[in-house]
Amino acid sequence: MNETEVLLQLVQKRLDEFCAERKSSFEGISPDLAPLLDYTSSLLAGGKRFRALFCYWSWAAALAVSDPLDEAQRRASTAAMVDICSALEMFHGAALVHDDLLDQSDTRRGAPAVHKRFEATHKNSGWAGTPERFGMAGSVLVGDLMLGWSSEIFGQALLNAPSQTIEGACRSEFSKMRDEVMAGQYLDVLEENAAPTRSVDEAVGRANRVILYKTAKYSIEAPLLIGAAFAGAEPALLRGLSAFGIPLGMAFQLRDDILGVFGDPAVTGKPAGDDLREGKRTVLVAITREQLSPSVGALFDELLTSRDLSPEQIGFLQQTIKGGGALAKTEQMIEELGNEALANLESLTLGSEAKAALRQLALKVMNRES
C-alpha cells in the first residue's frame, strides 16, 4: 500500500470514528437524531479527496526541504496532518450539502442529495407540513453541524502544531478559506438570478470571479497553503504554491463546468445537462452568451432560468454552447491554465517525491472524467 492509499484510509477511519462518536452522543439525546449522522456518514464515505491529498502532499513537499523532524515529532505531525485533512473533507461535505440545497440539485454521486433524503423521510412517515420544507431544514442543520465539526477537528489537530507561529498561520489560512468560499457561493447564487439584468460583456469576468472564490482558492490553493503552513513554510514558498494552486483550481472548475453540461450521467452521478437545468452561469455559458444575437440570447436566458427543461431543450442549449465555439475555447483555457500551474510547480524547491505526487494530482484534476 502506497503513502496516498494509507492517508486515504486514515482519513476515512478518522471521519468514521468521529461520526460514530457523535451519533452515540446524539442518540443519548433522542433516537430521532440518528438521521443527522447517518446522512453525514454516507456523504463522507465517497469522493476523490482532492483537498486532503493536496494538503498532505504540500505538507510533505515543504517538510522535505525544512529542518528535519525527529521520529517523535514526525509521528505527531503526521497524526495532526490526518486530522487536518479530515477537517478539510468535513468542510467540503458541508459545502456540498448547502450547495445542493441552494442549487436545488436532487443527486450527489448518483444518490439522493441530503435535502432529498430528508424529504423522503418526511413523505414515508406521513408527517404534517411539506416534505420540501422539512428537507430544507434538515439539510441546513446537517451542513451547519459539519461546518462546526470541521472547525473542531481542525482545532484538535493544531494542538500538535510545532509552534504557536505555525498554529496561527494555519488558523489564518483556514479562516480565510471559509470566508472566501462563502463569498464565492453568494456571488454564484447572485449571478444565477441577476445575470439577465446585467451586462453580457462582463459575464465572463463575473463567472471567473465566482470560480476563483467558490472553487479555485477553496479546493486547491487553501489546502496547499494549510499543508505547507503546518510544515513551517516560508512566505516565498507559500506564494509559489498559490501560483501553482490558483490556475489549477480554475482549470478544475472549468472541467467541472464542462462535465455539468456534457458529462455522462453514469460517470458524473448527475442527470445530463444538470448545470443547465440549475441555471448555472458558468464561464462556458458566459462565453456562449457573449456571442449570441439579442433575440437568440433572450431565448437562451429564458431557457436557462426556467429550471424545467425538456431533453430537447437541454439538447438545444448544449448544441448552442458547442456550436458557438464555447466548448473548444473552454478546453483551451483548461490546457493553458494547467500548463501555467505545472510550470509554476516545477519552479518550486520541494521534496522530489511529494512534488511528483502534486504533479500527478494536478493532471488528475485537469483531465478527470467525473
Domains, the chain, in order of start with CATH, read 3-367 (1.10.600.10)
pLDDT in tens, 9-36: 999 999 999 999 999 999 999 999 999 9
pLDDT in tens, 199-227: 999 999 999 999 999 999 999 999 999 99
Query: Which phi and psi angles does 319 have, rounded to 5°?
Result: -70, -35
Q: How far is CA 4 from CA 8, 31, 62, 94, 255, in A?
A: 6, 37, 17, 24, 24
- pTM for this predicted structure: 0.94
Query: Do residues 94 and 87 touch, judged by C-beta distance below 8 A?
Result: no
Cβ neighbour number for residue 129 with a 10 Å cutoff: 9
Q: Which helix (H) or strand (E) holds 111?
A: strand 111-112
What torsion do the CA atoms of 286, 287, 289, 293 make, to the nearest 10 degrees?
160
SS3 349: coil
pLDDT exceeds 60 at position 370: no
Residue 65 CB partners (closer than 8 Å, separation 6+): 349, 350, 351
pLDDT in tens, 105-143: 888 888 999 999 999 999 999 999 999 999 999 999 999
Least confident interval from 73-77, 150-154, 186-190, 329-333: 73-77
What torsion do the CA atoms of 74, 248, 277, 332 make, to the nearest 10 degrees?
-160
Task: List the beta bridge partners of residue 112.
Answer: 107
pLDDT exceeds 70 at position 369: no
